[in-house]
Amino acid sequence: MSFEPKDFRSEAQKTKLLQSQIKKLEERMIDFDKFREEASKNIELVNETTGIVVDKTTGIIRPPVKIQQRVSQVSQTAPPTPGYGGIVDIVGTSGVVPEKKVIIPYTWAITGTLSLSSYAASVVVRNTYTGSGYSIVGKIVSASFQIGSGTNLTWKLQKNGSDLSGYGTSASPLTATTTAALVQSTQVLADQDILTPVPVGVSGSPTNFNLTVHLEYTI
């Protein structure tokens, strides 16, 4: 013999309990809809920020337009060059190299009282490379300079013994004073190019010349 529990609640009590349960379920559904809507907005925001495109029909994630353009521009058959690590293979396409830039400063300092014979050591530009399917391009993009005291020092920057465009000449040199200055001019450099700062004139016993050139490498 089996006994089934008897529900002694009235119909009104049962109805009230059922209504309460339905209300809680509706509230949970509303909360779920709000969460889903917020998640969708966040996904769209990330996609807009990164440029990623999600096909709403198939759900396939496509790379940003810029990367797709880069993929179409670069030969897909050229292998990466050995000796340069960190090459990223975009969207599974062999030989495609993402373009990155890095700025490397190089500073000269000439201490003491400056004269026309106060030459700083030359710097030889290295680590540029051009080859099939991969390249590193070096450029000078700007120079900042200053003297410690005195009136001024006029100077120019030479590449391989010739005046570098945008960085002073004998007829129109750059002027360094006790106030820091910056000049900008993008000039492509080749491997083994030699950069040399050359004084052109001095005035008012200038001292302690410092010069920083900023080299940009596109990888």
Kindly report, residue by residue over 43-76, the tens digit of the pLDDT. 666 555 555 555 555 555 555 554 444 444 444 4
- Could you tell me the residue ranges of all domains in the chain? 8-52, 63-92, 101-218
Residue-level pLDDT at 150: 95
Given a contact cutoff of 8 angstroms between Cβ atoms, the answer to whether 152 and 203 are in contact is yes
Please, are residues 164 and 140 in contact by the beta-carbon 8 Å criterion?
yes
Determine the Cα–Cα distance for residues 99 and 191; give it in Å rounded to an integer.
Answer: 19
Mapped onto helix, strand or coil, the DSSP state of residue 78 is: coil
How is 115-149 classified by DSSP, letter by letter?
Answer: -TT-PPPPEE----EEETTEEEEEEEEEEEEEEEE
Can you tell me the mean pLDDT for 129-157?
Answer: 84
Q: What is the mean pLDDT of residues 109-117?
A: 89
pTM, two decimal places: 0.53
pLDDT at 170: 94
Closest C-alpha to 190, from 134, 136, 138, 123: 138
Rg (CA), the chain: 34
Q: Averaged over 14-34, what is the pLDDT?
A: 75
pLDDT value of position 61: 53
Tell me the CATH number of domain 101-218, given options 2.60.120, 1.10.510, 3.40.1350, 2.60.40.
Answer: 2.60.120
What letter would DSSP give residue 151? S
User: What is the model's pLDDT at position 6?
Assistant: 63
Assess whether pLDDT exceeds 90 at residue 24. no
